[in-house]
Amino acid sequence: MRAALWLITLFALAAAGAWLAGNNQGTVSLFLYPHRVDISLNFAFLMVASVVLLVIFAQRALEAFLSLPKKAQQWRLQQKERASHAALLDSIGHFMAGRFLRARKAAEQTLAKEALLAASGVTLEHAVSLRTLAHIMAAEASHALQDKDQRQHHLDQALQQAAQAQGSDRQTLLEGSHLRAARWLLDDRDAAASLDQLKTLPPAAGRRMVAMRLQLKAARLASQPAQALETATLLAKHKAFSPAAADSLVSRLVLELLKHTHDADALQRTWQRLTPAQRLMPDVAAQAVLRWLKLGGSPRVARSWLQELWSPLESMRSNWSPEQLLSVVHAFDACLPGMEEEDALVWLSRLESAQKSQPRSAHLQYLAGMICLRHRLWGKAQSLLTQAVKNLESSVLQRKAWIALAELAEQRQEAAEAATAWKQAALCSTT
């Protein structure tokens, strides 16, 4: 649309000029003694315009001629600047291709070319960023070459250059340098130094996904399960892993944390710090209960920890794996109440009801039989354990069931049945 308007305007000006020139009868007289020259007004206008255009063209030609040395210098500096950028790109390309020695040489060439520019009096706006990135690439290549001295030298230079930047560039370059240093130290299996590097980051940068991933790896390598668990929980909250991977990772870290507790009070504090979702993990709850009992904790407290797992165990509708189900059964078996406990009748009634609602469940038969045994209900215990031992897949539970049956047979003074049960228990312990 704009081009059409310009075209219409030009046509209008041309038509107006032609009309004025065609009807203009004026003349211009030039007196050059002793002569007189008469020319038309249109021709005079044309000559004046021609002279003006000629002067303008001559002025521009002279300016272009006089600016040739300056443009030549600018062109040479531009070529040097492009050469420094090209060397940095070559360094990145060589590093990606696995040619680490060439990558370091290209990064050093970048620094040399930028130094020549600075020596010639040219200061690039992004000179600090260029030098910092070149040092980082040289350090990356040195790290790949296992040259720690050169890596540390270029890292120190990169941090020094980044500190000279202004505004947001300074923060970005410093944070990036510290993150790369933390990753290199983690590759060196120096978890403590890697964590120290991460601590130098501002709080906002420390909560970034890449920083938390590095912190998780370093904490696990440094055998700090508490910090690793906290970091993994934050990563799972920010959906850094798939739900299945997050649950598996958190479960392993909690188990590791429980393994590092050496007294009951510390274990109880650890359990209270866990989230409700973590307490519902069957592996975590079972391991916590077994560890608690091993450290001399109260069985009643252990049963309270397992309270939330009773409903999925009773209904047998959980998505637990066979190993998780077995661990939960072991935990319940370890803390079943005896006759003297206050909640003994509650758990006896609960297990009997669950076993009747799921008569084919070998695990519920086993637990019901064991609690009947503790309550001296010999007949029920023998019946339930005899049924359970035929369907149990765990050799550990089978051995415990056979031992209980052997003890019951000895109480009845049935030596043959007791010997058979003891033999089956011994066979289970060897498989």
pLDDT (tens digit, 9 = 90+) per residue, 225-265?
888 888 888 888 888 888 888 878 888 888 888 888 888 88
pLDDT confidence tier of residue 183, bands split at 50, 70 and 90: very high
pLDDT at 20: 65
Which of 346, 353, 400, 393 lies closest to 373 in space, CA to CA?
400
Other CB atoms within a 10 A radius of the CB of residue 217 amount to 18
Q: Where are the domains of the chain?
A: 73-165, 277-314+321-335, 336-431
Q: What is the pTM of this model?
A: 0.69
Task: State the architecture of 336-431 in CATH terms.
Answer: Alpha Horseshoe (1.25)
Question: What percent of the chain is predicted at pLDDT more than 70?
Answer: 96
Q: Within a 13 Å sphere around the CA of 418, how many CA atoms are in the beta-carbon half?
A: 9
HEC readout, 122-141: CCCCCHHHHHHHHHHHHHHH
Distance of alpha carbon 254 from alpha carbon 288, whole angstroms: 9
Q: Is 146 helix (H, G, I), strand (E, B) or coil?
A: coil
Token representation of residue 118: 């600075």
- In order of 269, 274, 286, 309, 334, the CA distances from 278 in angstroms are 14, 6, 12, 12, 21
pLDDT (tens digit, 9 = 90+) per residue, 353-364?
878 887 788 888
pLDDT (tens digit, 9 = 90+) per residue, 185-238?
998 898 888 888 888 888 888 888 888 888 888 888 888 888 888 888 888 888
* Amino acid type, 190: D
Integer-rounded Cα radius of gyration of the chain? 44
Distance of alpha carbon 155 from alpha carbon 133, whole angstroms: 10
